[in-house]
Chains A and B, each alone.
Chain A
Amino acid sequence: MCSNIIETVNLCKKYKTTYAVKDLNLQVKKGEIYGFLGPNGSGKTTSIKMLLGLIKATAGSVTLFGKQLESDRNHILKKVGALVESPSYYGHLTGYENLKIIQRMLNVSEKRIEEVLNIVRLTKAKNKLVKQYSLGMKQRLGIAIALLGKPELLILDEPTNGLDPAGIHEIRDLIKSLPETDGITILISSHLLSEIDQMATQVGIISEGNLIFQDSIEVLRNKSDSQIRVRVNDANKAKIILENKFDDSIQLDANSNLILNKTDDNHISLVNNMLVDSNLSVYRIEEIKSSLEDVFLNIIKGEYS
C-alpha cells in the first residue's frame, strides 16, 4: 500500500509533434498541500486534465488513491473535487442553484450546500444570479462546487488567476484552512511562487512539460542561500588581501563590491578587522538574500540553457 494520493509514472501528452507534458512523475502524499508551479504554457493545466481523465495521456499512467484512473474512474472521482482553469458556472442560475445541480448529480445531502457556501463565505450571495458575481466570487463558487462531495483530494488549477490582491489573499486563507479541518490533500497550481509560498508544503516545478523540481518547500528555501556584500574604497586591494589570508577566491560584482559566500558572524567580523587594519575604508557590510522567486526563476532558466 503506497501512501501517495497522486502518483503519475512517465505521464506524457503529445500534441502533433510537440510534447505538452513529458515523462511527468508526480508524487503527492496524503495531507499535503502540493504547489504545482510553472510559467504559463508549461503544461500545468494539461497535467491536471490528465489527472482528472478529461484528456487522455499519450503514454504513462495516473494512479490516484492507489488505483488506476483508467479502470476505476468513477470510484476515484467520487473522492476528488476539482476546479479547472477559468471558472465555469451557469450564469442564468443563482449560486445556490448552481451548487444544487452538482449536489443532485453527486447525490450528497442538501445540507452540504449550506456548509460549502459557509466555507467559501457566499451564504449572503447565494440567491443572486451568478452572472452578477465578481470574479472572486465566481472563483469561490468554483471551489464550493469542488468541495461539495467532501473530497479527499482537491485539485485547484490556478484558483487565484485574474484576482486582485485582496481576492488572492482570501482564496489563500480559504485554502490554508482546509486541510486542518478536513484532512484533505490539495494540489494547487500557479504560475507565481509567491502565491503558494505561504501555504504549500511540497512544491513541484514544471517547465516546458518537464518536472524539474519536486521536493518540500524547505529544500527550495535552502536553495536561496545568502551572501555578504562588502563595499570598500579599494575593492581590488581588499580582494588580494582576503584571498591571501583565507585561501579562497572572492568575487567582485558589477559595482566593485566584494561578495563573500561564508556568512557566519565570526568570519565577517574577522574580515572587517583585516580590512580596517589594512587601512581600507569599509563603507558597508550587508547581507543579500535571493528570494524564492529568484530561485524559481533560476531553476527555470537553468532548464532552458
Chain B
Amino acid sequence: MREVIIGDRIKFKRSKLLLIASVFPLFVFIMNFSDFYLRLDFNRELAQELHTTEWSFLVISCHWAMFIMVPLSITIFASKIVNIEHEANTWKILFALPISKYSIYLSKFIYLFLLCMFSATFIVGSLLFIGIFLDFNGPIPWDLILKQAFYPYIVSFPLMAFQLWVSMVCQNQIIPISLGIIFTLSGFFLQNVKWLFWVYPIWGTPILPSDEFNKVIINTDLSFFFIMSLTVGLLFLIGGMIHFSKRELR
C-alpha cells in the first residue's frame, strides 16, 4: 500500500493538482470577500437582523458558495487524479504488477481526500483573512470557522467515493464530470430529500439561519448526516473497489 501511495505521488509531478485544488476555494474567497468588502454595512444589517455576530454571518454566507463549490471540486479532483492513468494508458502496466488492485484504488481515494482537506484549509485561511482584514468585532470563532471549512467535505464522503468510482471505470471522463455537474445543480432543488447522498454538502454546516430569518440556529441534523455520510461512503468505497478489481481491461 505504501509503495503505491509513493508511486502515485510521483505521477502528480507537473500535473498542477494543487493549483486546481486552490482555484475552488479561491472562488469562495473572492465571492465572499467582494461581497463583504463592497457592502459591509448591508451585511452588518443582515447580521443584526439575525441577531448574530459578523463572524457567524460570514460563516453562513460562505456556506452558500461552498455547497456548490464542494461537489464540483470533488468531481474535478477525482477525474483529474484518475485521468492520469486513462490518458497514459497505464492500467495494464499497473494490473500486471504484483500489487493488489485494492491498493491502487485506495491510493487514489487517499489523494482525493487529501486534496479536499487542502481546499478546506484554504477556506479556513480565506475566512480568517476576510474577518481580520475587515476588522470584524469580537474574538475569532475558531470552532465555527474550522467546522464550516471541513464539514461540507466530511459529509461529502459518499460523493467522493462515488465520483472516484465512476472516474475509475469510465475511460471517457465526460461521464463522471457530467454526473458531478448534475449532482451539484439538482442538489440545490432536492435538498430536502435527505437520503440522496449528493445533497449532503448542503447540510454540512454548523449553523443555519432560521426559516423566519430572525435568528441563527445550530444545525441539529449534523449527526444524522455524519452517520449517513460514513455509511453510504463506505458502501460506495468498498463496492467501487470490488467492482474495479473484478473488471477486465479492454
Q: Do A and B come from one complex?
A: yes
Bound-complex Cα distance A182 to B167 (A): 40
How many angstroms between the C-alpha atoms of A49 and B3 in the bound complex?
24
A60 within 8 A of B: no
- Given A92-B15, A101-B10, A49:B249 Cβ within 8 A: yes
Q: What 0/1 pattern do residues 64 to 91 of B give for CB contact below 8 A with A?
A: 0000000000000000000010011110
B96 touches A52 (CB 8 A): yes
A90 in contact with B90 given A100-B10, A104-B10 (CB within 8 Å): yes
- Interface size of A in residues (CB-CB distance below 8 Å): 33
Do residues A84 and B92 form an inter-chain contact, with CB atoms below 8 A? yes
Instruction: From A97, A104, A106, A145, give the contact of B13 (CB < 8 A).
Output: A97
Assembly CA distance A55 to B3 (angstroms): 24
A18 at interface, CB cutoff 8 A:
no
Interface string of B52-69 (1 = CB under 8 A from A): 000000000000000000
Indicate if the CB atoms of A88 and B97 lie closer than 8 Å: no
Interface residues of A in 137-160 (CB under 8 A from B): 145, 149
Number of residues on chain B facing chain A (CB within 8 A): 25
Query: What 0/1 pattern do residues 72 to 100 of A give for CB contact below 8 A with B?
Result: 01111110101011101111110001001
Most buried by B among A54, A56, A73: A54
User: Measured between alpha carbons, how far is A149 from B84 in the docked complex, in Å?
Assistant: 23
Please state if B249 and A106 are interface contacts (CB–CB under 8 Å): no
CB distance B88 to A88 under 8 Å?
A: yes
**Is the pair B3, A88 in contact by a Cβ cutoff of 8 Å?**
no
A49 surroundings in chain B (CB, below 8 A): 92, 249
Flag whether B98 is at the interface (Cβ < 8 A): yes
Residues of A within 8 A of B14 (CB): 92-93
Contact of B97 among A84, A90, A100, A105 (CB under 8 A): A105
Q: Does B192 count as interface, using CB distance less than 8 angstroms?
A: no
A93's nearest neighbour on chain B, judged by CB, is B13
A41 within 8 Å of B (CB atoms): no
B98 interface neighbour in A54, A74, A101, Cβ under 8 Å: A74
Contact in complex: B13, A105 (CB < 8 Å):
no
Interchain CB contact under 8 A, A88 and B249: no
